[in-house]
Amino acid sequence: MDANLDATLQPGSEVVELTLPMRPRSAVTARLVAATLGAECGFDVDAIDDLRLAVDEAVGVVVDRAPHPDTARVAVQFDPSEVALTVRVSATDAAPLVADGLDPLATRIIGAMVDHFDVVDGALVLVKQLRRDGG
């Protein structure tokens, strides 16, 4: 893990947490919150679209790996700051994520849409940094 990602993992006071059903359509709610918080952070339209796509893929990764979708739920945590929006996506009542078990296409998409991502403590962590020029 690099220093930039490590610095964004300390939760701030504005954390927004969602616990959603373990269903693909839960990504809709997560995308909506990502877009809203991205706009509040000052991201431009392109950066918001990138963030929405990355969150959609991350939720999809978690949902696809759930062994018991009837009992597990998707947990999505958004932590906005002055420099970035950090998003943690994980499953409740399911095995923690491991980097080697992720869908390669999903990781390529996520990697293209955010500045940093990694599996940390069993959760997929995405970091989209705010550019000083607006995005």
| 91 falls within a domain | yes
From residue 44, alpha-carbon distances to 55, 68, 85, 131 in Å are 17, 38, 13, 9
Summarised one tens digit per residue, pLDDT across range 65-83 is 877 767 889 999 999 988 9
- What is residue 11's predicted lDDT score, i.e. its pLDDT? 54
Summarised one tens digit per residue, pLDDT across range 95-130 is 778 888 888 999 999 999 999 999 999 899 999 999
| 134 falls within a domain | no
pTM of the model: 0.86
- The helix/strand/coil state of 49 is helix
Summary mean pLDDT of the chain: 87
Spatial distance between the Cα atoms of 104 and 21, rounded to a whole number of angstroms: 24
Instruction: Return the axis-axis angle of helices 45-65 and 104-113, rounded to nearest 10°.
Output: 160
| 32 falls within a domain | yes
Residue ranges making up the domain that contains 83:
3-129
CATH number assigned to the domain comprising residue 93: 3.30.565.10
| 135 falls within a domain | no
- What is residue 1's predicted lDDT score, i.e. its pLDDT? 46
Q: What is the domain count for the chain?
A: 1
| 28 falls within a domain | yes
